[in-house]
Structure 1
Amino acid sequence: MTPITEVEGRRVALSNLEKVLYPETGFTKGELLHYYATIADAMLPHLRDRAVSFLRYPDGPEGQVFFTKNVPPGTPDWVMTAEVPRSEGPARMVVVQDLASLVWAANLVTEFHTHQWLVQAPDVADRLVFDLDPGAPATIVECCEVALWLRERLAADGIEAYAKTAGSKGLHLLAAVRGGSPEEASAYAKGLAVEAERAMPGLVVHRMTKSLRPGKVFVDWSQNAGRKTTAAPYTVRARGVPMVSAPVGWEEVEGCRGAGELEFSAEDVVGRVREYGDLMGPLLDAGRAAELPRT
Structure 2
Amino acid sequence: MANASATTTVAVAGRQLALSNLSKILYPETGTTKGEVIDYYSRIAPVLLPHLAGRPLSLKRYPDGVAGQGFFAKNVPNGAPDWLRTERLPAPGSTKNRDEIDYIVLPTDDGDALATLVWLANLASIELHVPQWQVGPRGGVRGTDLLVFDLDPGAPATVVECCAVALRLREVLDAEGLVAVAKTSGSKGMQVYARIKPVEWGRTSDYAKAVAQQLEREDPEHVTSVMRRSLRPGKVFIDWSQNNTAKTTVAPYSLRARPAPTVSTPLHWDEVAACRRPEELVFAFDEVLARAADEGDLFAELLGDDRPALPRR
**Common fold, TM-score beyond 0.5?**
yes
- Deviation string, structure 1 residues 1-29 (Cα, Å, up to 9, x no partner): 52211101101121111011111111111
Once the two structures are TM-superposed, the CA of residue 208 in structure 1 deviates from its matched residue by 1.4
Q: In structure 2, what is the Cα distance between the partners aligned to 1:273 and 1:74?
A: 33
Question: Tell me, which stretches of 5 or more residues in structure 2 are unaligned?
Answer: 1-5, 93-97, 108-112
Pick from 114, 131, 145 the counterpart of residue 99 of structure 1. Answer: 114
* Equivalent in the alignment of 2:234: 215
Q: How does 1:50-69 map to 2 (within 5 A)?
A: 50-69=55-74
What TM-score do the two structures reach when normalised by structure 1? Answer: 0.97
Once the two structures are TM-superposed, the CA of residue 90 in structure 1 deviates from its matched residue by 2.5
Q: How does 1:109-188 map to 2 (within 5 A)?
A: 109-110=124-125, 111-120=127-136, 122-188=141-207
**Contact 2:135-2:142 at 8 Å conserved across structures:** no
Q: In the alignment, residue 95 of structure 1 is paired with which amino acid? A: V
1:291 to 2:309 alignment? yes
Aligned-pair identity (%): 52
- Deviation string, structure 1 residues 195-222 (Cα, Å, up to 9, x no partner): 1111111111111111111111111111
Moved more, 86-95 or 17-26: 86-95
Q: How does 1:1-295 map to 2 (within 5 A)?
A: 1-87=6-92, 88-97=98-107, 98-110=113-125, 111-120=127-136, 122-287=141-306, 289-295=307-313
Once the two structures are TM-superposed, the CA of residue 79 in structure 1 deviates from its matched residue by 1.1
SS of residue in 2 equivalent to 1:51: coil
Once the two structures are TM-superposed, the CA of residue 294 in structure 1 deviates from its matched residue by 2.4
Q: In structure 2, what is the Cα distance between the partners aligned to 1:192 and 1:26?
A: 42
Moved more, 201-210 or 137-146: 201-210
Q: In the alignment, residue 92 of structure 1 is paired with which amino acid? A: D
Q: In structure 1, what is the Cα distance between the partners aligned to 2:192 and 2:210?
A: 15
Q: In structure 2, what is the Cα distance between the partners aligned to 1:206 and 1:284?
A: 28
SS of residue in 2 equivalent to 1:290: coil
Count of residue correspondences: 294
Q: In structure 1, what is the Cα distance between the partners aligned to 2:49 and 2:261?
A: 19
Q: In structure 2, what is the Cα distance between the partners aligned to 1:86 and 1:18?
A: 36
Once the two structures are TM-superposed, the CA of residue 179 in structure 1 deviates from its matched residue by 4.2
**Contact 1:129-1:175 at 8 Å conserved across structures:** yes
Q: In the alignment, residue 109 of structure 1 is paired with which amino acid? A: A
Q: In structure 2, what is the Cα distance between the partners aligned to 1:78 and 1:55?
A: 22
What TM-score do the two structures reach when normalised by structure 2? Answer: 0.92
Q: In structure 2, what is the Cα distance between the partners aligned to 1:218 and 1:100?
A: 38
Q: In the alignment, residue 218 of structure 1 is paired with which amino acid? A: F
- Deviation string, structure 1 residues 165-219 (Cα, Å, up to 9, x no partner): 0000111111101142230011100111111111111111111111111111111
- Deviation string, structure 1 residues 124-167 (Cα, Å, up to 9, x no partner): 11000111011111011100000000001011110101001000
Once the two structures are TM-superposed, the CA of residue 123 in structure 1 deviates from its matched residue by 4.8
Q: In structure 2, what is the Cα distance between the partners aligned to 1:280 and 1:99?
A: 19
Q: In structure 2, what is the Cα distance between the partners aligned to 1:292 and 1:84?
A: 25
Cα RMSD (Å): 1.1
Once the two structures are TM-superposed, the CA of residue 96 in structure 1 deviates from its matched residue by 2.4
Once the two structures are TM-superposed, the CA of residue 82 in structure 1 deviates from its matched residue by 1.2
SS of residue in 2 equivalent to 1:25: coil
**Contact 1:55-1:112 at 8 Å conserved across structures:** yes
**Contact 1:123-1:226 at 8 Å conserved across structures:** no
Moved more, 96-105 or 34-43: 96-105
**Contact 2:28-2:67 at 8 Å conserved across structures:** no
- Deviation string, structure 1 residues 75-114 (Cα, Å, up to 9, x no partner): 1111111121223422210012311011001111121000
Question: Tell me, which stretches of 5 or more residues in structure 1 are unaligned?
Answer: none
**Contact 2:60-2:72 at 8 Å conserved across structures:** yes
